Amino acid sequence: MELLNNLAIGFSTALSMTNLLYCFFGVLLGTLIGVLPGLGAVATIAMLLPATFSLPPVSSLIMLAGIYYGAQYGGSTTAILVNLPGESSSVVTALDGYKMACQGRAGAALTTSAVGSFVAGSLATLLIAMFATPLSAFALAFGPPEYFSLMVLGLVASVVLAHGSLLKAICMIILGLLLGLVGTDVNSGLSRFTFEQPQIAEGISFVAVAMGLFGIGEIVRNLEHEAGGARTAGIPRVGSLMPTRDEIRRIIAPIFRGTALGSILGILPGGGAMLASFASYSLEKKLSPHPETFGNGAIEGVAGPESANNAGAQTSFIPMLTLGIPSNAVMALMAGAMIMQGIQPGPSVMVEQPALFWGMVTSMWIGNIMLVILNLPLIGIWVRLLAVPYHLLFPVIIVICGIGAFSVSNSVFDIHLMAAFGVLGYVFFKLECEPAPLLLGFILGPMMEEYLRRAMLLSRGDFTVFLTRPISATLLALSAAALALVVLPAFRKTREEAFHEED
């Protein structure tokens, strides 16, 4: 009964005309961003953060969430039609989706992707609604030691599940933590790590960091690889959108398996949509009686990963909304948007602002329905957009980034800071360092310090408080186990193989 009451609050909020419009704008923009390779949900959300200042908190979060899961839909369209994944999570979809398109079954592949995404998104949202209340109630029992230990576990898990070198992921986490400490010490009121620059006395601008690393950095990366020509040569004919009876029978189980797997992996820090899609593809290939068909147009290779990446995208909201712990770069940006609106992510949101919490959750159902209605009829328009050369797009993106960075505090220094982090983002790319762990460390660093200091004050400087409290000790034990797991050769090999297809 309590769940139904909460959902009633949510729908009454999400179905207001204002929030419906922002939800529609979010999923439409997300689909567009997913279709256009080189932008991505992270960069788009980073660019739109300043615009959310003038919006009501619930409207801004509904819009940003729509961009995220909408991009998962859009990324599959170009992956299937032109073998050009718009999102990293759609890389696996291209393996069989494009082969189906070349065989004249592009329409069936697109419908499979849309249906799988809709089913997965709807069921994952149901999971959020079901588990949010008990998780938040459990989190309310947390004290400073438990929150500190939980954040340690989140950072450790993001390192374990990060793509690429473990050492580089650890270094990026540490760098993010250090950047998060720049500014004024809350206890003493003294400036630290500011190098006598008054512009960063209150800390480094989150918007400048996000826009630089994921906006400007992505632009430089794409310019390096831009060929300058049209990207729509050889687009297969879409044909009939209706899968055959045999194809419908074959996609049902992969859709539900992908949904279940993606829902679990989406909750894990560092997991999310990309890891879910790769894991689902590997699972379907192992379970298939004809694994040799994978990579040659197996419809299961579209249904499973597309369901998994959408389920993973939506369940990644669970730790951010209920515990205040972002599980990936997009959730870090969402947490940053909430903080800039004066809302502290965590269990108190559900209690203090139920309309915001449940309005955002129920908007995901509405957004998924909008995406199904939007995607299939507009396929022709999305494909034509691929003909726009990137050298015409990037100046507009740079201008938007510059305006956004300046508008936060009307400071030219923030534009310079954004440019510096843009260069740094490109350097990270060349060094094969993921910037996402840095952003997680940047967001969690100040909160970790705050909870650490509170725990030390309450325990009168006794560090054993983290080990004598059962929940805190359990979380630290899990962190230690995760670190121990990393050094095992068998796990390292499995971890590398999980991302092998992407390379």
pLDDT of residue 230: 43
Bridge partners of 192? 183
Kindly tell me if the per-residue pLDDT of 231 is higher than 60.
Answer: no
Residue 362 to residue 441: CA distance in whole angstroms: 30
Residue 243 DSSP class: P
CA 500 – CA 39 distance, rounded (Å) = 23
What is the spatial distance between Cα 199 and Cα 178, in angstroms, rounded to a whole number?
17
For the segment 61-97, what is each residue's pLDDT rounded down to a tens digit? 899 888 888 887 777 877 787 776 666 667 778 788 8
Mean pLDDT of 137-157: 80
d(CA 433, CA 176): 13
Q: Could you list the residue range(s) of the whole structural domain that residue 392 is in?
A: 2-500
pTM: 0.72
Averaged over 406-426, what is the pLDDT?
A: 85
Q: What is the pLDDT of residues 397-415, one digit of tens each?
A: 788 778 777 876 778 888 8
> How many independent structural domains does the chain possess?
1
Q: Model confidence over 101-113: pLDDT tens digits?
A: 888 888 888 888 8
pLDDT bucket at 276, cuts 50 / 70 / 90: confident
C-alpha–C-alpha distance, residues 410 and 393, integer Å:
25
Contacts of residue 369, Cβ cutoff 8 Å, sequence gap at least 6: 118
| Least confident among 1-5, 331-335, 360-364 | 1-5
Q: For 356-395, what is each residue's pLDDT tens digit?
A: 889 988 998 898 888 888 776 777 676 677 666 767 777 8
Is the pLDDT at 235 greater than 50? The verdict is yes
pLDDT over 60 (residue 492): no
Instruction: Please state, rounded to an integer, the average pLDDT across all residues of the chain.
Output: 80
CB 479, CB 473: distance < 8 Å: no
Render pLDDT for 7-54 as a digit per residue (tens, 0 to 9). 898 899 999 999 999 999 999 888 887 777 656 677 778 778 777 778
